[in-house]
Amino acid sequence: METTTSCDPWAGFEGHERVLVAQDPASGTAMVIALHSTVLGPALGGTRMTTYPQAADPGAAAYADALRLSRAMTYKNALAGLDHGGGKGVILGDPTVKDPDVLRAYGRLVASLDGAYVTAGDVGMTVADMDVIGETSPWTTGRSPEKGGVGDSGILTSLGVFRGIQACAQAVRGSDDLDGVTVGVVGVGKVGGRLAGHLREAGAEVVAFDPSAAAREQAEAWAPGIRFVDSLDALLALPVDILSPNALGGLLTEELASEISASIVCGGANNQLATPTVGRLLAQRGITYAPDFLVNCGGVIQVAEELVGGDMDRAREKTEQVYATTLRVLERARSENVMPVTAAEQEAEERIARAAAEQVV
Output the domain CATH number for residue 112: 3.40.50.10860
pLDDT at 332 over 60: yes
Nearest CA among 130, 200, 194, 159 for reference residue 299: 159
pLDDT of residue 128: 94
What residues does 44 pair with on adjacent strands? 86, 118
* Higher local confidence (pLDDT), 216 or 276: 216
* Residue-wise pLDDT tens digits, 245-291: 998 788 999 999 999 999 999 999 988 999 989 999 999 999 999 99
Cis peptide before 245 (omega within 30 of 0): no
Q: 143 and 185 share a domain?
A: no
Q: Do 99 and 140 fall into the same domain? A: yes
Confidence of residue 358 (pLDDT cuts 50, 70, 90): confident
Q: Please, what is the Cα angle at 170 between 208 and 304, to 5 degrees? A: 70
- Give the ranges where the chain is alpha helix by DSSP (H): 58-79, 100-111, 127-133, 154-173, 192-201, 213-222, 232-236, 254-257, 276-284, 292-295, 298-306, 312-320, 322-336, 340-360
Of 78 and 9, the structure prediction assigns the larger pLDDT to: 78
Q: Are residues 164 and 240 in the same domain?
A: yes
Residue 355 lies in a domain: no
CATH code: domain of residue 293: 3.40.50.720
Catalytically active residues, by annotation: 88
Question: DSSP 3-state assignment of 214?
Answer: helix
Measured CA to CA, the distance from residue 296 to residue 355 in angstroms comes to 23
Are residue 60 and residue 179 in the same domain, yes or no? no
Residue 5 has pLDDT above 60, yes or no: no
Domain count for the chain, please give it: 2
Helices 154-173, 192-201: axis angle to 10 degrees equals 50
Let me know whether 167 and 102 are in one domain.
no
Is position 247 within any domain? yes
| Domain containing residue 162 | 154-297+324-347
At residue 54, the pLDDT reads: 85
pLDDT digits (tens, 9 = 90+) for 177-205: 999 999 999 999 999 999 999 999 999 99
**Are 41 and 116 found together in one domain?**
yes
Residue 198 shares a structural domain with residue 251: yes
Domain boundary pick from 147, 167, 183:
147
Q: Is the pLDDT of residue 1 over 70?
A: no
Which is more confident, 114 or 12?
A: 114
Give residue 144's pLDDT: 92
Rounded Cα distance between 60 and 9, Å, is 8
Residue with more model confidence, 245 or 123: 245
Instruction: Determine the average pLDDT of the residues in 56-61.
Output: 92
Does residue 275 share a domain with residue 192?
Answer: yes
Contact 267, 245 (CB under 8 A): yes
pLDDT at res. 134: 96
Mean pLDDT value across residues 134-138: 96
Kindly state whether residue 308 falls inside one of the protein's structural domains: no
* Residue of 7 and 194 predicted with greater confidence: 194
Looking at the domain assignment, is residue 88 inside a domain? yes
Residue 277 lies in a domain: yes
Residue range 23-36: average pLDDT?
A: 95
- What is the rounded average pLDDT of the residues 326-333? 98
Domain boundary among 107, 123, 147: 147
Q: Can you give the pLDDT at residue 148?
A: 86
Query: Within a domain: residue 173?
Result: yes
One domain, residues 160 and 137: no
**What confidence category does residue 229 fall into, taking pLDDT thresholds of 50, 70 and 90?**
very high
Residue 3 confidence (pLDDT) above 60: no
Of 114, 147, 180, the domain-final residue: 147
**Distances from the Cα of 137 to the Cα of 76, 112, 115, 217, 276, angstroms:** 24, 9, 9, 35, 36
What pLDDT score does 123 carry? 84
* One domain, residues 272 and 133: no
Of 318, 299, 352, nearest to 78 by C-alpha is 352
pLDDT of residue 360: 66
First to last CA, the chain: 39
pLDDT at 216: 96
Residue 120 inside a domain? The answer is yes
Q: How many residues does the chain have?
A: 361
In this prediction, residue 361 has a pLDDT band, given cuts at 50, 70 and 90, of: low
Sign of CA dihedral 162, 164, 168, 170: positive
198 and 58 assigned to the same domain: no
213 and 142 in a common domain: no
Mean pLDDT over each residue of the chain, to the nearest integer: 93
In a domain, 334, yes or no: yes
The backbone torsions φ and ψ at residue 268, rounded to the nearest 5 degrees and listed phi first, read: -95, -10
Contacts of 139 (CB under 8 A, 6+ apart): 42, 110, 111, 113, 115, 117, 118, 119
